Structures are given as C-alpha cells and as structure tokens.
Amino acid sequence: MSVFEYVALDEKGRECKGFVDAAGVSVARQQLREEGIYPVSISPARQKKSVSLSSVLEVGFLRKVSAKEASIFTRQLSTLIGAGIPLVPSFSVLLAQTKNPVLQKILAQIRADLNEGKSLTAGMENFPSVFPPLYINMVKAGEASGTINLVLERLADFSESQQALMSKIRSALAYPLIMLLVGSLVIFLLMTFVVPKITGIFTDMKQTLPLITVILIAVSNFLKSFWWLIFLLIVAGIAAFKSLTAGTQTGHRFWDSFRLKAPIWGSVNLKIVIARFSRTLATLLQSGVPLLTAMEIVRNVVNNTVISETIAQAAKEVEEGQSLAAPLAASGLFPPMVTEMIAVGEQTGSLEKMLNRIAVAYETEAQSDIMVMTSLLEPIMILVMGLVVGFIVVSILLPIFEMNQLVR
C-alpha cells in the first residue's frame, strides 16, 4: 500500500485535498469516486525526507500546528487505541477528519512508517517541532510497557493542564494591558492634538502662565515634535533588551535569575516554574520513563536557565546515589515544603503522587496570586490615568480663571 496525495472536487463542485492509501493511482482514483469525490490530480505523497524537511520548516518556523491541535490529536488517538482500534486504522480515521494540511502530511507520513513496520516512536521522531522529547520518550515508554493508550491519555491531560494554566494567566493579564494601551493612546492624543489647540490661545494672548501650564505646554510640544524619537527609543530599547537577554548566555541567565527574584512578580514566576517542573516530572515517571532521563527532559521544559542548572546538578548527584530532594533543597530555590514532599515521596515510593500534589498546589497559588495582582493593578492604573487627566484639566483651567479675574 502506498500513500497518495490528491486534489479533487466533491459532489457540490468544491475543491478538496487529502491523502488516500491505495495499491496504485488507478485504485486510488476508484476509491475516491466510490466516496463521491472526483479527483483532478493524484500523485504519490512526498517521500519521508522531503516531508520531514518541509514539516520541520513549516511547523518549526511558521508554527502551523498549534499546541491545541497536537493535544486534540493525542486525546483522539488515545480514545481510538483504548477502544481496541489498531494504530494504522486509527491514523486513517484521524487523517480523514484533520483539516490542518500540515498536520495531514505529518499523520500521512507516520501512517506510512507504521505500514512499513516501524514503531510509532520512530514515526514521530521525524517531526520534533510537533512531538518534542517529552512526547517521544513517553510514547517510547508506553510502547515498551504495552500501555500506549494510557500514556497518550496522560500526555493529553498534561498538555491540556498546561494550556489551561497559561490561558488563565493570559486572561487575567489581558484586561490591564488593554487598559494601559488604550489609556496611553488617549493621553497621547490629548497631548498632541487637543492640548496644543487650547494652549495656543494662551500663547497668542501673551499672558504670564502658571508653572503647571508651562510644563504642560512643554510636554505637549515635545510629544508633538518628537513622538517619532520616543517610538524609535522604545523599539531600540526592546531590541537591545532581547539582544542582551536572548543573544548571550550570561544575559539570559541574569534575566532568568531576575525573574525569580523580582519584587512581587518573582514569587509568582517561581511558583509557575515549580508547578511545571513537578507536573512534567510526575507525568514522565508515571509513564515509565527512568528518573535520570525524565530529569534531562524536564531540564529543557522549565524555561528558566537558573532552575535548569539546578536540575542538571541534581541529576548528577542522583546518578551518584544521592536522593532527589537533597540537591534541590541545597540550591535554595525550591521551597522547604516542595523538598520535604519530594523526600517523603522518595521514602514511601509515591514520588509521582507527591509531585502531582505539588503541581496542583502551586498552580492554584500562582493563579490566586495573579488574580490578586490584577485586581490591585486595575484601580492603580485608573488612579494614575485620573491624575494625568486631572493635571491636564488643572493646567488648562488655571489660566482661564486668572483671565476672568483680570476682566473683573
């Protein structure tokens, strides 16, 4: 059986594309006609190397397969395998209902690999942008233990929990950010368009103006004349910041360290990192991945250089016979509650359960802290914008009151 890529017309004359398994082009054409699809062109699907390269470029660079789509695929594949459907027919079902063309190509290539007798792990390894090391190692462990459907279910649960956490954080921060942007834009428009027209009257009358009004006029004139300079400075500052933090290892480490120690936000960020560490390590261990392999994967998932170095050091000591809790406690980054729970889990043989409890506790605390911060941030932003608008109003009204007194 070969995989063919087709372009066809359905019964309503609409163009559709997809893949079909068949012994040859004529057989593929006949199968499509039996399904009520009229092929315009049929060609062999691109070979493994071509598909892998294009998929890596399209998925890794253009990011055409989202984390949500990968999570849905994992959940559906777990359900199909759990229902007793073999791998190849399961991929055929998923391929038929997938609308993303990039994901279609990936599923078609994996199905072709499975037809050749290769393992699911071997097929997925060709697409690291969609299936990262965490995913591959868990699937490999699931295939070795014969629990692939349970492993895929855990993967789907893990992915969905991480997406839900990040979605809640983004939702909590969205409103304050929108308020900040809209408020800044309104104030900028007031200072550059409205204020100059009003203060121009005072300037024409050559009246001695209060200091607060002089300051307002100076700020307004600067913004109106040099707004482009401010914009360039902001862009240059962002570019320089990214260059220093992402372009050099020292800068990246300094920024990651600052993120953990920054006032207010540092504690929240640490809780998010610990929750991700605990959840990922628990999921890997539950799926049968060895501890040292799991720690190597987790080290690349936590997204923080300082924590990553701590995990790497802990892995070395674990390899030498030490417990996991001891080096984590010695680092001073992991709170005592976390290290004590890990120590208890190691002693009682329930490390995965303890890690899951840590993840739940810290995810809840992080969400609660973010909600408190945003609830305080909103009135502070309103107060600041109110003070700015009040400054503008007072600066304009003071000269008017003085003019009225002179007229009297």
**58: which DSSP letter?**
I
Asked if 314 and 324 touch (Cβ cutoff 8 Å), the reply is: yes
| Mean of pLDDT over the chain | 83
d(C-alpha 264, C-alpha 269), whole Å? 9
The proportion of the chain whose per-residue pLDDT surpasses 90, expressed as a percent, equals 15
> H/E element holding 15?
strand 15-22
What is the dotted CATH code of the domain comprising 175-408? 1.20.81.30
User: Does pLDDT of 115 surpass 60?
Assistant: yes
Task: Please state the φ and ψ torsions of residue 9, each to the nearest 5 degrees.
Answer: -120, 135
pLDDT for the residue 385? 87
d(C-alpha 45, C-alpha 22), whole Å? 12
- Per-residue pLDDT band at 362 (split at 50, 70, 90): very high
Dump pLDDT digits (tens) for 222-259.
888 888 898 899 999 888 888 877 767 788 888 888 88
User: Does pLDDT of 5 surpass 80?
Assistant: no
DSSP 280-341: HHHHHHHTT--HHHHHHHHHTTS--HHHHHHHHHHHHHHHTT--SHHHHHHHS-S-HHHHHH
C-alpha 344, offset from chain centre: 32
d(C-alpha 76, C-alpha 342), whole Å? 33
Dump pLDDT digits (tens) for 116-132.
888 898 999 888 888 88
d(C-alpha 43, C-alpha 203), whole Å? 76
Q: What is the pTM of this model?
A: 0.69
**35: which DSSP letter?**
T
Indicate the residue type of 319: E
**192: which DSSP letter?**
I
Residues facing 185 on adjacent strands:
none
Q: Which two tokens stand for residue 236?
A: 């240059």
pLDDT for the residue 41? 79
State mean pLDDT over 22-31: 75
d(C-alpha 102, C-alpha 115), whole Å? 20
C-alpha 36, offset from chain centre: 41
CA-based radius of gyration for the chain? 30
State mean pLDDT over 68-92: 89
State mean pLDDT over 84-96: 88
